[in-house]
Structure 1
Amino acid sequence: MGSKKTVSRYTMKSEQGTHSFEIVGYSLTKIIGVGKFIRSGTFAVGGYDWGIRFYPNGLNEAYTQYVSVYLELLSKDSATYASYDLRLVNQETGLPQSVLSESTPGLFKSSGITRFAKGRSSFMLRTNLEMGELGYIKEDCLIIECVVTVIKKPQLSNPTVYSEIKVQTSGLSDHYGKLLLEQEGADVTFVVEGEKIAAHKIVLAARSPVFKAELYGQMKEKNARRITVRDMRPHVFRALLRFIYTDSLPDMDDLGGDDYSDMIGLLLVAADRYAMDSMKSQCERILSELLDVKTLAVTLALADKHNCSGLKDVCIEFIAASNKMDAIVATKGYADLKRACPSVLVDAFEKACKFRRI
């Protein structure tokens, strides 16, 4: 007799959005007077409309030495819970600096004072804001960034009755991973910088057209049981084999910062070399998420060399959407790219200009 199981689910979800408010002609805003504000364009997060209020001369006479900034709920007849992080962007580095944040969601109601985040009238001393070494104002432009996380309305499903049948998972990737690890039945050995790595021809050929041609085609390695792999590090080749056998990248929690980014770049090169498109696309996605001023030029060069059109477009959009060209030009990666492949930069900047005009 089969067992019965009933299930209901109470679901709470959040939605996060970031808005960048660029104030061009910052010095001119100081003529509007104390208690006067300028407001950002309306932006939507979690189904609600929001805005940023900026008081260049302070909220009132008690705070004339400060600038004041507030997040405001603009939707009419609405109420929601949200958290926020108000930041100022250092335009030398492109990095935002958190100035005022609230990690615990608070109630916003469209009526009365509760439509504003719990702000601080003394958001920042104007003299500190305008200090050149902080990089907040450049070419008379100030950028305020606000990250809003909205708690969406919870949903409760009606109870559902299931006849429960336990299904065993195949564990296919685990089985293949074990096959690679234990090397049982391995029929080919790769030598990578003197290190011997065993594998199975049929698995490699099934996953990679390059390996298929190398191991079963007319290439000289067809009948070889030992193949030397040049221009690749052993740990990168092992990571390539892991993806071939398990469809997953290795755990890289021990790598941080530049080491992690460099490793993903090496994996992308390996994936392109052996036509592992799914692995290559995963590496492209990770590199796009790591993109910043420091990595832009190196990533653009990598994308161009290995025909990563999606990653190249992300680099171009980054150039078009940012005001960080001085910082980008100052990087070593930019100098290397300019010297080695200037046509890539020309193409990127032309497309970026077109992107800005859209």
Structure 2
Amino acid sequence: SGHWRDPLQLVPIIAEAVRFLRFEPFRAKIPLFIPRSDLEMEESGYIVNDRLTVECEVTVTKGPQVSRTIGCSEIGVPPSELSEHFGKLLEEEEDVGRDVVFSVEGESFAAHKLVLAARSPVFKAEFYGEMIERGTFSIDIKDMQPSVFRALLHFIYTDVLPADIGDLEGDDYVEFIRHLLVAADRYAMDRLKLMCQSILGKYVDVKNVATTLALADQHNCDKLKDVCIQYISSLDEVDAMFRTKGYANLKRSCPSVLADLFEKTSKFRAS
């Protein structure tokens, strides 16, 4: 409510407001113009103490605060390029910050200590432990093939396996993944180790199951061990497996795993 010195000045204002808002129920009950004589009549009760009091109740429907966008409402975001950029950092011919060189069977690999240390706790301990005191920047890698070490570096920089691994076929592919699993375990690359286990588990057969089981036992690959044991327990005839060279090596190098094998196999067959 409001008060004006000359209340009659408010009448046309109210009428204009009603017209603008198009408030039909209000317009139906109260005319747009009220004669001055009607307002000035004492018995009308409109004016009290030379004041006209007007009470207005207005309902406002709020619209959306954000204006409608024109065209596409979503802005596309491309996938992450982080692994691609790090991969280029490893592959570029220019020596961009490389500060460590590995020698693997006569083949050299230059890399970045900081990247390797961030990905592998083993490399971190080597680079920022004793080696930093000796100032050693050249490392000789023993018991590893150059192609396997190259794949290990590629995974460290990109978090994916090299595409050219897919060019290998059959036993050559399985053998390469075995070597890569050993390298992953050696440098505590847990995700790579699980990826290798997953691949080897898909290639288990009668000829290689014993070899794969021995590898899993030697490198603490419990998931891969379970896959091998389940496969053996599903065989109708295990004589073919017993005749393999892998089984002979399993008995010689991992005798303890045989007891575990027969115990779990009997449980699987019973269930």
> Normalising to structure 1: TM-score of the pair?
0.54
> Distance in 2 between the 1:222 and 1:296 partners?
44
Letter of the aligned partner of 1:234 in structure 2?
P
- State yes or no: 1:300 paired with 2:213: yes
Quote how far apart the aligned CAs of 1:308 are. Answer: 0.2
Q: What SS does the corresponding residue of 1:228 show, helix, strand or coil?
A: strand
Alignment of 1:170-189 (within 5 A): 170-182=80-92, 183-189=95-101
Aligned counterpart, 1:316: 229
> Distance in 1 between the 2:172 and 2:120 partners?
27
Structure 2: 5+ residue stretches without partners: 1-68
Q: What SS does the corresponding residue of 1:238 show, helix, strand or coil?
A: helix
Structure 1: 5+ residue stretches without partners: 5-162
* Aligned-pair identity (%): 61
Structure number with higher strand proportion? 1
Alignment of 1:126-165 (within 5 A): 163-165=73-75
Letter of the aligned partner of 1:191 in structure 2?
S
> Normalising to structure 2: TM-score of the pair?
0.71
Q: What SS does the corresponding residue of 2:130 show, helix, strand or coil?
A: coil
- Residue 349 to residue 2, structure 1, CA distance change in 2 (3 Å): farther
Q: What SS does the corresponding residue of 2:109 show, helix, strand or coil?
A: strand
Structure of greater Rg: 2
- Residue 312 to residue 187, structure 1, CA distance change in 2 (3 Å): same
Alignment of 1:64-143 (within 5 A): none
> Distance in 1 between the 2:70 and 2:196 partners?
46
Q: What SS does the corresponding residue of 2:103 show, helix, strand or coil?
A: strand
Quote how far apart the aligned CAs of 1:341 are. Answer: 2.1
Letter of the aligned partner of 2:154 in structure 1?
R
- Residue 218 to residue 332, structure 1, CA distance change in 2 (3 Å): same
Structure 1 residues 14-34: Cα deviation after superposition (integer angstroms, max 9, x where no partner) = xxxxxxxxxxxxxxxxxxxxx
Letter of the aligned partner of 1:285 in structure 2?
S
Any runs of at least 4 consecutive aligned residues in structure 1 with deviations exceeding 4 A, and if so which? Answer: 219-222
Tell me the C-alpha RMSD between the 2 structures: 1.5
Instruction: With a CA cutoff of 8 Å and minimum separation of 6, indicate the structure with the bigger relative contact order.
Output: 1
Aligned counterpart, 2:162: 250
Q: What SS does the corresponding residue of 2:88 show, helix, strand or coil?
A: helix
> Distance in 2 between the 1:170 and 1:337 partners?
44
Aligned counterpart, 1:224: 136
Aligned counterpart, 2:116: 204
Which residue of 121, 145, 148 maps to 1:233?
A: 145
Structure number with higher helix proportion? 2
Letter of the aligned partner of 1:338 in structure 2?
K
Structure 1 residues 275-318: Cα deviation after superposition (integer angstroms, max 9, x where no partner) = 00000000000000001111100100000000000100111111
Task: Tell me how many residue pairs correspond in the alignment.
Answer: 200
Letter of the aligned partner of 1:196 in structure 2?
S
Quote how far apart the aligned CAs of 1:226 are. Answer: 0.6
Aligned counterpart, 1:274: 187
